[in-house]
Chains A and B, each alone.
Chain A
């Protein structure tokens, strides 16, 4: 970047971030074409093991982990860049659940034994993780968590059902949040546990979705958990959950921003190629203005995502900006996916075309980590209402 005296602001990505973006785009374009995405929608596991291993070899699973755990010690913004590319291309599989929802909390809240035990495995791509937080309501409020873990003879015994647990069908470990103490305040008395997915008391059922992503119902019946498998502190689960969700939400929004950019690019290309009335449909103002509206939406979303990621990387408080970003991502993704299909016309409505893959995924991205209403409510509470 050109050095300008006295200016600290910088909208540029670093050289390293640009390299990572290029590497990710090359890899995903080649290894994960849309034919593969469609194939994996029908696959029971929902991800490609060889692709997963290759990603681990490139260091993606351990991107932001310290070197001592087999990671590359990269910045949160680097991970955001990677998520943008995964969203752009559509990468099916448990990367988000393993890295964003589990590796980051393990790094922050795990004790030395847990970190040494689990993080290098994640970095090497050997183990898949997911978080079991939401229950039958599907929402992200503390009051929705009913699963209970009772201390009996020095061990916790976990009972309850979790819903919308992504990729539990292939997970080796689950991070489960449950009630360990009764309290009138729903945010109190919650604790996180590390649970081996092969525990005999666990039953996992894959819920068919129209997004192509795997969602599961996970039932816990008298699942015994030793105290050593508590993550963080007993009773501090909700604070941890909020912290986990902050980072994960920004990463999910990055995935959405990448997807939105991809839709815009596809629609813009198509508008220049498709001839009707003897000219490209992109020469008509109705189409142009739709594309411009999409562009303004995408660029606005991108800058909110980048700002939120930057705030997180500096450690500054940013609950307001994160809530704004998720609400915006939800609204923008819906609008752009629909406009993308409309510009394509009937071909956009077919399985042969790729744009419908994004349109279907809107619904998963929108509800995960809080729907629009939840985040608008957070924004309202943060601006003095």
Chain B
């Protein structure tokens, strides 16, 4: 019960993100608000640490209440006095529930897998959890803890959003929860899938959007299980990546650009690979839609601020490895081992599932962005592995998780090509 309360506390993050998505259906609105709220709250917590202010329930909930009030005022104004839709809307809703049955079943499987300890990430125990607990104890980003030389393997300069999200619920409930950290993975999965569905629906229609959302949900649930991702940062990273890519692929106008901006900032603030994803998006946008490149600006500012903070406190490590040479003589090993791990021991089923519908695609122009990003994400994955003198253990430990980025891009591409 305590664990459920802890997970429920993370839903308070929705308050921060509510002003972001106004034109979606309710599940999509909550999904985008949850993702956006995670980024906004994480940025606030980081800023408070920079300024030397301690986190507390009051100091975190007062800004959340302010954002909630703003969102309510924004939403409520034009709707007051509007007519309530009649029977046709009810029929649509019933059809929508029928279409969503698959989706709900897959969500239930994801919750079962996380609650049954069948998809837990070892890194939760080795560094995400210890970081979050010590940040929670210090009520701030604990620089002394990160600087302690014998905790070096916990990656002192790694982006902090994942531990900050764990700290949020800990501050709200007064305790850290290992089970809560694991159970956040299905929540990130649901947010990614529901936001994708809401972003794709105006282009594809509700039925098709729901079908591809179910495919994405099945792919991510299987991937989280095969790659043991729950409690690590990958579920959160994938949520941001899917939302950003879907907003840029299907969305149009200011709202979609803002959602993409916030999601890209979240990706960069979650994992080093998130910054590489932002670069991949920018490169792809240069070919597809140059006007949208500005969406990456908040990500650059946020991760730039974190790198400056890390440098100021002598924490730089991962971001200072650019000088490490690329070991091209390991390319054969990386491709062989990466190729083996990419099979997920089910004869490449996730790849076949993601690419299958693309074979019957029609609108490849629409699919260009996710296809380019998919190719670039494969490229930077190999690039990262080529920096490690002994990459085999690393590939074995992580490839099934990091390749989910490429697979998610391919599902978005398949959906886009079906327009």
Q: Do A and B come from one complex?
A: no
Residues of A within 8 A of B (CB): none
